[in-house]
Structure 1
Amino acid sequence: MIEHLTDPSDSLDRQNEKLRKIAEALMRRVEESTNASGAAYAQFQRAAVLEQEVRARTDDLERALELLNDSNARLAQANKETEAARADLANAIETVQEGFALFNRDEELVLCNSRFGMHIPDIQEQLNPGLRFAEYVELVSQSGFLSLPETMTPGDWAKSRLDRHADDHVVFNVRLSGNRWSQVSEHRTPDGGTVILQTDVTDIMRIERQERDRILDDKARLIRATLEHIDQGVCIFDNKHRMIGWNTRASELLAIPITQFQMGTRFETLSNRLGDNISFQKGITEADLLDWVSRPTYRRPLQFQMHRGRSKILSVFAQEMPDRGFVISFTDVTAERKSAEALYEAKEMLEQRVASRTMELADALNEAERANASKSRFVAAASHDLLQPLSAAKLYVASLGSGLDKDTAQTVAAKAESALNSVEHILEALLDISKLDSGRAKAHLSTVSVGELFLQMEDAFKPVAQAKGLNLRFVDTKALVTSDASYLRRILQNLLSNAIRYTETGKVLVGVRHRKNAIALEVWDTGIGIASDHRDVVFHEFQRLHSDASAAEGMGLGLAIVERACGLLQHPIHLFSEVGKGTGFSVEIPLARAKPEVSLCSSVVQKPNSNVLGNTVALLIENDENLRGALTMTIESWGVEVLECESESEAIGLLREIGILPDFVVADYQLNNGKTGTDAMRALTDEFGHLPGCIISANRSQELVQQCKQAKLPLFYKPIDPQLLKSTLEASVAHGI
């Protein structure tokens, strides 16, 4: 602009002058305009300052953005790592073999694997995160795959499940359709959440049930074997008249194909199948039998005879069981009846020939007849005495199939065992009774617990008394007496049998009265009583108060045996009776101070010993296969490993082969080829050194007793007492004998 105000062609002085004038003019203008431009300058300064602040703030903002971007990058990395960890957790949970689910502290489902709820597929799709625990329980309770007991509703199950959820730790089994089982485990987490594990335990439950079924099958086979072993035909019916048990002998005796004996067959149906082939005897008809079966009140035992076909004669005995079911047994008595008829015909023939013979021949014939009749009646009386405990055992065994619980079933089985032990004792007593007449009988005195004797008699006679409607009561006692245990048991058994037989109503009471140095064992009844002129006669052989009584009611040997046994033992016996009011018998027995050597009553539960027989080995030498199998089963039930052998040579060969010596040896005395158990024990000792052992035998000779005593071997008589054998094994193992 200044260039345009000066002329280049002017002289230098002229140009300088113009420039001075221009400068002065500008200076004046500036001086004149100073006040007006101050505000603008101030605005300029503020703008400059603001620009600096904006630039500083921009720098700060850029640094904040850089920090934010860095934080976002780290957050993204953390999220990535979290997602990876979650994926790893999900993969780990998915590899778990059980169903897994996690609920948070607010009872909401957080996560679960694919196996969770796999056994209830109809609700599995609804098991998603966010599902509340109560909703989960409701879904399960309504699932069609949940198998509930008949008495439980889905609502009941859901309430029970929620009640269990309140506990910190819960474990229970759930039954599902298709006979499958799932075990549910529920645990609390430290933050209040809930972890649920579902495990398929179907195989475990099946194995457990198979084992339980096997045990039940073993028991059923044992009962079945018992029924098949007896010669009587037996049919067992429940309280709805449905068949629940039978044996092959029943099919044979009734001539009904065994295929028609089926579980659940009603008695009326079975009765119709008999048809016209059966005819009833002794004043009873088929209608009477059906009326007895359908009677709503207590049924008294029913006994009668019936004919099958033209020749077969069956004795029938029907008796009610405690659960209102009943047992009917059939006994083939054809041979006995034919023998009786043959004897009668022979008697008639002999009577015709006696007339033509001499008196000496007649006397000899009469003597033979009396001896034969006495023998038959003695056998009948012995059979009757054996039927008492056998009947009790049959009733107890029959009741085992009526759905008893475990404890009750064990008690009933113990009572059945006690009754069978009574049979064993009776058989032993009969051997001793036979010695009474020969003069060879000897009393073996020992300390006897009267209380244990009472318990055994109660088990044997209470079912018989209850069947007759009598109240049989034993007064508990701790008295210890000196007597022969076998004969004393026989005395009390005959007195009880006699009291029950002649008492129609009322009760039978058994107890003791204490004397100075003795007790009086007394049996009182409310029966018919004994007239004074009959009190001596009742102790004679084959004498009965009712001459028209049947053979099944005894042959009058009971009191005769009692009197002879009391005479042998020197136990005075007294009789008290009043006609129409009852009878009492009292036997005086001296007291004893020592404790009983052997328990009389097998039904008394003894405290189990510690398991000293675990991991022990027993060698069994028994030539009879059935007894060997039974003994093996019994000994193995005590936890003992049994080595079975048939002979001495087999036992030695087995021990050489396995290189293991047994902890105990059980050897039968009578082996094959003239060998004995004592010979086997000597051979084993020569080969392997001393081995603890015992001898079992049915031989009761003094020679065998002396043999075992010299060899220091315990002797057990057959039938073998398992508890006594077990105690001997425990003592031997515990003391290292």
Structure 2
Amino acid sequence: MRRVEQVTDDSVAAYAQFQRAAMLEDQVSARTRDLERALDLLNQSNARLAEANRETEAARQNLADAIETVQEGFALFGPDEVLVMCNSRFGMHMLDLRDHLKAGLSFDDYVERVSRSRYLALPEGETPEIWAVRRRKRHLDRHVIFNVRLIWNRWLQISEHRTANGGTVIIQMDVTDIIRLEREARGRMLDDQARIIRATLDHISQGVCIFDAERRLVGWNERLGDLLAIPMQRFRLGVGFGTLMERLESEITFGEGMTAQRFADWVLSGPGRAALGFELQRGTLILQADAQEMPDGGFVVSFTDISAERAARSALSAVNETLEARVMERTLELADALTDAERANASRARFVAAASHDLLQPLSAAKLFIGSIAAEALEPFAREAVQKAQNALDSVEGILGALLDISKLESGRVAVSPGPVRLDRILGPLREEFAAIAAAKGLRLTVMPCSAVVISDPAYLRRILQNLIGNAVRYTMTGRVLVGARRQGGMIRLEVHDTGPGIAEEDQDAIFREFHRLNAPASASEGMGLGLAIVERACAALGHPLGLQSEPGRGSCFMLQLAVADGPGEANLPAPRPLVAPQHGTQDRIAFLVENEPDLRRAMGLLLEKWGMSVLDAGTGEEAAALIEEIGILPDVFLVDHQLGDGMSGLEFIQLMRARYGALPACLITAQRTPALATACEAAGVQRFLKPIDARALEGWLSALPPAA
């Protein structure tokens, strides 16, 4: 330092070097202290690492000790499929693997060595390579459990599970004792089942034999020997199917459609056989054989004795033949009786129609004769007698009309023509018809207005309601009669209520029979009990449901249900006829009467002359045509009977006259009430009057005719 201080210029560089040396010494000292601290830290880390290694080794040893204490074989393979560790029990069942079960063994090598171990009992027909392939496939599952069979009839249960990091844990458990116990239990169960099956087979009435898939006898019962007459000593386990076939071919006759060869072909056809059934006969014994395949490829054949059933069937067949003969005999008798009844019914219908027609002729004459009497010129006693005679003839007319209706309805010859019908055009005239009758008895008749359009036959609907209202007025002594209509969906229900005596429930069916009346005298003036019979049959022909509600002492209600017509339906309906036609009178008119019955012609002539008309008459159409040609006078109106004998009919005569002389007014007088004739008259524009003739209606029609030009 003295030299440095002494030297000023030359020693400047030396001083700088000194400063650098001092600085280096300080840095070396700092680095030395850092290295010492780093060395201390390294020593501490080494100490901790050594401690961790000791702990790891201790843990590994503890894990190995713990694994070793496990009663099952345990092995752990890492995610790389390499053995990490295993215990001594893992290889105890395959001693030839123990030396190879060390850490680092790959899973494929492990499987390969197991598949070739002499302690492994491979399944029949399986090679080590095939077993190894199946084992590796199972290894692909995350969890798998299966059994492996070893030699000396020992069994291992292998449980394989994946760990969270992709490793594999394999656990081996010796389940030999468990499997042996299960087999013993299964054997006892099979023995018990065999005893139960044996007891069942011995107690059933069928003969049964069971064959396995190799067609060897494995089961039978004593009943089989009885049915086939085979000694039980011939039945032994393992006996082939041929033994049974020998017996079947030698002493058994096969039923229709079956042969021994066909049965043998069924047995030899193998799995998939359909059930087979056939009959056998051994002497008088008839057997039903049923062959059925079993799931294992074997089959069972049962034999049932059906001799009694066949005998019963034969007896039943004989009885059936006898019964069939008796039934046929009875059927023929019933057919003859039915034919006779139909013939009698047709004869009755023809008789009623003919008798009614024959009766209508004199009845019409009687009514016309009485109508021609000037009541004003008679004494009071004679006038009363004439009125009573008129009433009696009206009653007879009503009865005849009812009989004709019943005859047509019962014979099925009635022809109904359902169509749109406005109810007010039916109810309005009925209100006026019965109003006076009800008022005379002190009853209040109410007919509610209804303009609904229904589907029905107007003529028969009017007759139905006329009979119902007439009965209500006839049998009601005090109170009222109400007629109304209720709408129910697409239907209209017509109801006729009365406050009459009512009808007991036990009599409600009887009132619809002919000539049946409750608590009323059998008087023609009070009706003969045909009205409700006509109502019921007409409703049946039209398809109108008919109902009745009644309580004795409180009155009755008859109900009739009709379908409402679709749409308005009124445009096509005929316009209502005026209630009062314009009157032009009958004086000074010429009427030509064509009637083949002399009495009726005479009565009709008297009535027409009473009305101030001049009358020409003839008995047939031919006579009338000749008379007109002879005198050269055309009448103002023709009144023609329809049935004029063997010549032309009344309608044909009218058409002939109109063809010759133009559209002359004409009416047809007939007792024939067929719809065909009514249609023909309407088409020809001819007025039709039914016998017996209503004199007031005829006079009204004649008065309404326009005056002659």
TM-score norm. by structure 1 comes to 0.36
TM-score norm. by structure 2 comes to 0.37
